[in-house]
């Protein structure tokens, strides 16, 4: 889509430029942003990618999630075999849960 058409779409939705429109709707789900601007959600995805906004809104990688979990002592997954094995936590509660799990498995 030519850039001036994008700007036309943005102006109809009340924004000065498509860039401004994409930035202003960056916090919304793609479907919702698309509805607001009058374009399809794949278009929103493309526009966000062009502005580098897709990465900022992306979910954290599994490694980052596991790291955040290990830092958060109040996370309910501590004290589970999952916490130990899948999330790599070696706190006392997770280690104990893992030991118990192994013991039960050998049962």
Which residues contact Zn ion by CB under 5 A? 78, 83, 89, 91, 94
Residue 72 CB, shortest distance to Zn ion, in Å, is: 9
Nearer to Zn ion (CB atom), residue 46 or residue 91: 91
CB 15 within 8 A of CB 47: no
Nearer to Zn ion (CB atom), residue 21 or residue 97: 97
User: What are the DSSP calls for 26-66, one per residue?
Assistant: TTS-HHHHHHHHTS-HHHHHHHHHHHTHHHHHSPPPHHHHH
C-alpha distance across the termini of the chain, in Å? 64
Residue 68 CB, shortest distance to Zn ion, in Å, is: 12
Nearer to Zn ion (CB atom), residue 37 or residue 94: 94
Helix 41-51 vs helix 30-37: crossing angle, to nearest 10 = 100
Residue 63 CB, shortest distance to Zn ion, in Å, is: 16
The token pair that represents 25 in the structure block: 């709707």
Nearer to Zn ion (CB atom), residue 48 or residue 78: 78
Residue 58 CB, shortest distance to Zn ion, in Å, is: 26
């Amino acid at each position: 889509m030519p850039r001036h058409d994008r700007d036309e779409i943005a102006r109809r939705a009340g924004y000065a430029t498509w860039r401004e429109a994409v930035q202003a709707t960056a916090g919304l789900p793609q479907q919702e942003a698309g509805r607001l601007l009058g374009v399809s959600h794949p278009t929103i995805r493309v526009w966000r990618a062009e502005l580098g906004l897709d990465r900022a809104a992306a979910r954290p990688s599994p490694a980052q999630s596991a790291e955040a979990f290990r830092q958060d002592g109040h996370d309910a997954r501590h004290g589970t075999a999952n916490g130990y094995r899948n999330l790599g936590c070696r706190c006392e509660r997770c280690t104990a849960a893992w030991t118990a799990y192994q013991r039960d498995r050998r049962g």
